[in-house]
Amino acid sequence: MRILKIASVLMLFALAQVIPANGQCKTFAKKTCLPELGSYTHDGNYHVTTLTVGEEAELFKTFYSDMEYRLAVCGDEGLPPIEFTVIDANRNILFSSREANYPKYWDFRLESSQQLRIVLKVAPSGTQGEILPSGCVAIMFGFKIK
């Protein structure tokens, strides 16, 4: 009986580590990711999910000409760096955070409006055989008010 209790408690503890509560992700987005937008005004959209190491999320958005944007990507403290790749409609890679040493944001502007795809991935941590870290990942957009 004791083993049962211990096993249940351990498993619930493990689950609590693996699955961040929704409210936790919202707080994380506000407190950790929003400040990364700096002087850019947040557009107000909310894109947060929980990802485990190796998992991906994608986002499709139209960006407009003559606007100055900041794209900020943040992951929970316990996660390895979050890779983000910006891809155009012709599947050309316009920016890869991995090749830029994992910055948390990217500033850009466009000469003509484009629909872009952003792929987020929790980079592999190299810790095999253990419970894979999982946590909140947020992507936010800001623009300059003119």
Partner 1 sequence: MNKFLKIGNGVLALLFLFSLEFTGCRSGVKGEKTEADTLAFTRSDAAVYENIKQAEKIFYTLPSPLESAMLIKSAGAVFDEDLLNPVDNTRNYNTNKSMALNLGIYTCDLSFASLYDQTQLIINYMSAAKKMADGLGILDAISDEDVEKLEANIHDREVIMDIVSQTYMNSNSYLEENGQPAIAAIVLTGGWIEGLYISTRLVDMKDFDNNKLVGRIIDQKLSIDILLRLLEESKGHPAIDEIIAQVQKIKTVFDKIQVTTTPVRPEYDQAANVTVLKSEVKADLSPDVFTELARTVTEIRSNLIK
Options 31, 35, 56, 77; binder of partner 1; rule CB under 8 A: 56
Q: Does 68 engage in binding with partner 1 (CB under 8 A)?
A: yes
Q: Does 65 engage in binding with partner 1 (CB under 8 A)?
A: yes
14-33 binders of partner 1 (CB under 8 A): 14-15, 18-19, 22-23, 25-26, 29-30
Tell me whether residue 45 or residue 127 sits nearer to partner 1 (CB atom).
45
Q: Does 77 engage in binding with partner 1 (CB under 8 A)?
A: no
Closest contact distance (angstroms) between CB of 77 and partner 1 is: 19
Q: Which long-range contacts (CB under 8 A, 24 or more apart) does 106-110 make?
A: 106/70, 106/71, 107/68, 107/69, 107/70, 108/63, 108/68, 108/69, 108/71, 109/66, 109/67, 109/68, 109/69, 110/63, 110/64, 110/65, 110/66, 110/67, 110/69
Options 2, 101, 129, 130; binder of partner 1; rule CB under 8 A: 2
Residue 116 has which token pair? 């872009």
